[in-house]
Amino acid sequence: MSEYRHAHMKAAVVRAFGRPLVIEELPVPLPGPRQVLVRVVASGVCHTDVHAADGDWPTLPRVPFIPGHEVVGDIVALGDDVEELAIGERVGVPWLYATCGQCEYCRSGRETLCPLQLDTGVQVNGGFAEYVVANVSYVVRIPETLDPFLAAPVLGAGLASYKGLKESEAQPGQWVVVSGIGGLGHVAVQYARAMGFRVIAVDVQLPKLALAAACGAELCIDAREPNVAELVQQDTGGAHAALVTADAPEAFATALAMLRSGGTCVLLGMPPGDVPLPVYPVVTKRLTVRGSIEGTRADLVEALDFATRGLVHVTRDVRRLEEINEAFDAIRHGRVQG
């Protein structure tokens, strides 16, 4: 580890909310007990990173910090008490950096609900840097055969989509609406297919619907057309579940109206402000509305396995660290396909 003691690295740092990230030379962080130092190979850029850097949340991270929570890299140094990982191994560093391990949620396999959790790229420096320190208990091994530029978004967007589909409680052969075919949505369509669901893709942009069709959606619906929910009801008898990744407030009501009785609507996208809940159909059709956050470590192993078996791909742009602000702007203005 001594070779890293006085080494420096490039990193993209949030110095002030809503301002461009600053590319800086910083000391390479050194791993403590139960930590490893990872040389970053690929780091996904997610809308969550933009929200963190813009200070969009009720609880703000402390500045300065380095965002990035979809990190793939190689272990180059070990802290004390690390036995299960070795130098040279490729790992993924996900959103969940650490949880308490003791609360009712941690004890019941729902660690993503732990109130004491630390998140990569928010409370702990993330992967928009040449090196990152990771927690041995929460990193995941990445197979050599898996493209790191595919593995990185699977750690965040893929995992969130996969978990949301599990939370929908849909069964193989059933219809699932995927609303919003962006970074999450286009991966969600592929997971849904791989899990045996029949997919109804909903968006307001034709190129995104074309992407959904290429990803395996059977029905592709332009939500700007009139009576789209009635159409889905006629064609399928109503969807068994819906996964809303869009953050347009109207997307929620449309997805809800596409459900059959007993259906479940899972919310992943977060529109600014509140969205009205149509109580009448929720009560009379016994609908369920629930949120879903990131998956657990066990979910992550499953999500990566689908990708390793070639069942999930991502549409992506590869950029250099110095282009981080351009990448953020592209996401802010919806100029990203996939």
Closest separation in Å from C-beta 123 to Zn ion? 14
Q: How far is the CB of 98 from Zn ion (least distance, A)?
A: 9
Nearer to Zn ion, 99 or 135 (CB): 99
Q: In whole angstroms, what is the distance from residue 43 CA to residue 188 CA?
A: 20
Is residue 180 within 8 A of residue 269, CB to CB? The reply is: yes
Q: Is 49 or 294 the residue whose CB approaches Zn ion more closely?
A: 294
- In the complex with Zn ion, the residue whose CB is nearer, 49 or 111, is 111
Which backbone phi and psi does 288 adopt, to 5 degrees?
-115, 135
Which residue, 122 or 189, is less far from Zn ion as judged by CB?
122
CB closer to Zn ion out of 120 and 161: 120
User: Which positions from 197 through 256 interact with Zn ion, judged by CB under 5 A?
Assistant: none
Shortest spacing between CB 103 and Zn ion, in angstroms? 3
Closest CA to 29 of 46, 13, 15: 13
Interaction mask 43-82, Zn ion, x per CB under 5 A: ----------------------------------------
Residues 151-180 that bind Zn ion (CB under 5 A): none
Pick the closer one to Zn ion by CB: 99 or 245: 99
Question: 162 with 112: CB under 8 angstroms?
Answer: no
**Total residues binding Zn ion (CB under 5 A):** 5
Complex with Zn ion: residue 174 or 296, whichever CB lies closer: 296
Distance in Å, CB of 149 to Zn ion, minimum: 32
Cα-trace Rg, the chain: 20
Closest contact distance (angstroms) between CB of 26 and Zn ion is 30
CA distance linking residue 253 with residue 257, whole number of Å: 6
By C-beta, is 10 or 110 nearer to Zn ion?
110
Strand partners, 290: 266
Interface with Zn ion in residues 280-319 (CB under 5 A): none
Nearest-approach distance from CB 2 to Zn ion, in angstroms: 35
Least gap, CB of 300 to Zn ion (angstroms): 17
Q: Which is nearer to Zn ion, 100 or 248 (CB)?
A: 100
In the block, tokens 């927690």 appear at 135
Q: Residue of minimal CB distance from Zn ion? A: 114
Min dist. Cβ of residue 110 to Zn ion (A): 9
Residue 104 CB, nearest approach to Zn ion (Å): 8
Binding characters for Zn ion, 108-147, by CB under 5 A (x = yes): ------x---------------------------------
Site for Zn ion in 79-108 (CB under 5 A): 99-100, 103, 106
CA distance 216 to 201: 9
Q: Which residues bind Zn ion (CB under 5 A)?
A: 99-100, 103, 106, 114
